[in-house]
Amino acid sequence: MALNFRFAVVSDLHLALPHTIWDHPNRFHLVEVSISAFQSVLEHLTQLDLDFLLLPGDLTQHGEPENHAWLQQCLAQLPFPVYVVPGNHDVPVLLADQQSIAFADFPYYYTKFGYEDPQQIYYIRQLLPGVKLIGLNSNSFNDQGEQVGCLDAKQLRWLEEVLAASSDELIMVMVHHNVVEHLPNQSNHPLANRYMLSNSAELLQLLRRYGVKLVFTGHLHVQDIAYSDGVYDITTGSLVSYPHPYRVLEFHRDNQGKESLQILSHRVESVPEFPDLQQSSRQWMGDRSFPFLIKLLTHSPLNLPLSQAKELAPSLREFWATIADGDAVLDYPHFPLEVRRYIQSYGALAQPNPGMANNGTLTLIDNNSTLLLG
pLDDT tens string 211-257 = 999 999 999 999 999 999 999 999 999 999 999 999 999 999 999 99
Q: Is 369 part of a structural domain of the chain?
A: no
Say if residue 74's pLDDT is above 70.
yes
CATH of the domain at 97: 3.60.21.10
Asked whether residue 151 falls in the same domain as residue 246, the answer is yes
Which one-letter amino acid corresponds to residue 308? Q
Is the C-alpha dihedral spanning 157, 196, 236, 147 positive or negative?
A: positive
Looking at the predicted structure, is the pLDDT value of residue 356 above 70? no
3-state secondary structure labels for all residues of 97-153: CCCCCCHHHHHHHCCCCCCCCCCCCCEEEEEECCEEEEECCCEEECCCCCEEECCCH
pLDDT > 90: percent of the chain = 92
Tell me if 353 is assigned to some domain: no
What is the number of structural domains in the chain? 2
Higher pLDDT, 168 or 353: 168
User: What is the pTM assigned to this prediction?
Assistant: 0.96
Q: What is the pLDDT of residue 26?
A: 64
- Do 236 and 321 reside in the same domain of the chain? no
179-to-132, 138, 220, 226, 302 alpha-carbon distances in Å: 19, 10, 11, 9, 25
The predicted-structure confidence for 22-50, as pLDDT tens digits, reads as follows 877 667 789 999 999 999 999 999 999 99
* Residue 273 located in a structural domain: no
Residues 166 and 305 grouped into a single domain? no
Q: How confident is the model at residue 355 (pLDDT cuts 50, 70, 90)?
A: very low
Print the domain residue range for 340: 279-346
Whether residue 349 is predicted with pLDDT greater than 70 in this model: the reply is no
Question: What per-residue confidence (pLDDT) applies to 123?
Answer: 98
Together in a domain, 126 and 214: yes
With respect to residue 356, please indicate whether it lies within any of the assigned structural domains: no
Distance CA 117, CA 254 (A): 35
pLDDT tens figures, 180-200: 999 999 999 999 999 999 999
Same domain for 253 and 287, yes or no, is: no
Position 354 scores a pLDDT of 39
How do residues 279-304 score in pLDDT, each as one tens digit?
A: 999 999 999 999 999 999 999 999 99
Mean pLDDT of the chain: 94
Task: Supply the pLDDT for residue 335.
Answer: 97
What 3-state class would DSSP assign to 190? Answer: coil
315 and 184 share a domain? no
The pLDDT of residue 361: 66
Question: Is 22 in the same domain as 101?
Answer: yes
Instruction: Report yes or no on 372 lying in a domain.
Output: no
Q: Mind listing the pLDDT tens digit for each residue in 97-154?
A: 999 999 999 999 999 999 999 999 999 999 999 999 999 999 999 988 899 999 999 9
Measure the CA–CA gap between 361 and 238, rounded to whole angstroms: 27
pLDDT at 27: 75
Tell me: do 171 and 304 sit in the same domain.
no
Q: What is the pLDDT of residue 360?
A: 57
- For residue 25, the model assigns a pLDDT of 66
* 313 and 172 within one domain: no
